Amino acid sequence: MDGNNFNNGYDPNAGYQAPAGDPNAAYGAPAGDPNAAYGAPAGDPNMAYGAPAGDPNMMYGAPQQPQSKGKAIAALVLGIVGLLLCCCYGIPAVICGIIAIILANSYKNDNNGQGSGMSKAGFVLGLIALILGVIYGVYDFYVIYRMNTDPSYQKQIMDVYRQMGLMN
């Protein structure tokens, strides 16, 4: 051997022998729970680093509960009803249209800016009912005004009703 002893008494020709006893004992792991060697807290063995603070269901954000579509359905129904009521002096159509627009916007705000197809359809139908209701309302009031102030216009309207068979 030379003066530099780098193998510290290790004889490479001696062969390998397994250590006697428990193989975990050489590393200082206690018998029992295998996670205990890594300092896992007592309790759930799957939580090696301890439970997170707060609600365990909120780790990655709990799924949102599905929102009720009652407002969207109501907006759609009121939009359709508003369109059907346009010919009734326009006032019911205007009221239904305004309520349909409000409900559709309320549904959209409740769902973080995401509206369902029903709420979007209710909004559009409510807007159309509102516009047509205003047009029919203005026209109806114009006709009523003209009939009360202009006798020749009243005679024209009566002639049209007679031709249609609505009056004798």
Lowest mean pLDDT among 72-76, 157-161, 164-168: 164-168
The reply to whether the predicted model has a pTM over 0.85 is no
Q: Is there a domain that residue 133 lies in?
A: yes
Render 110-160 in DSSP notation, one character per residue: HTTT---HHHHHHHHHHHHHHHHHHHHHHHHHHHHHHHHH-HHHHHHHHHH
Q: Is there a domain that residue 57 lies in?
A: no
Lowest mean pLDDT among 31-40, 99-108, 113-122: 31-40
Q: Are residues 115 and 85 in the same domain?
A: yes
Q: Are residues 36 and 115 in the same domain?
A: no
Q: Are residues 95 and 153 in the same domain?
A: yes
pLDDT in tens, 23-58: 555 555 555 655 555 555 555 555 555 555 555 555
Q: Is there a domain that residue 96 lies in?
A: yes
Q: Is there a domain that residue 65 lies in?
A: no
Number of domains in the chain: 2
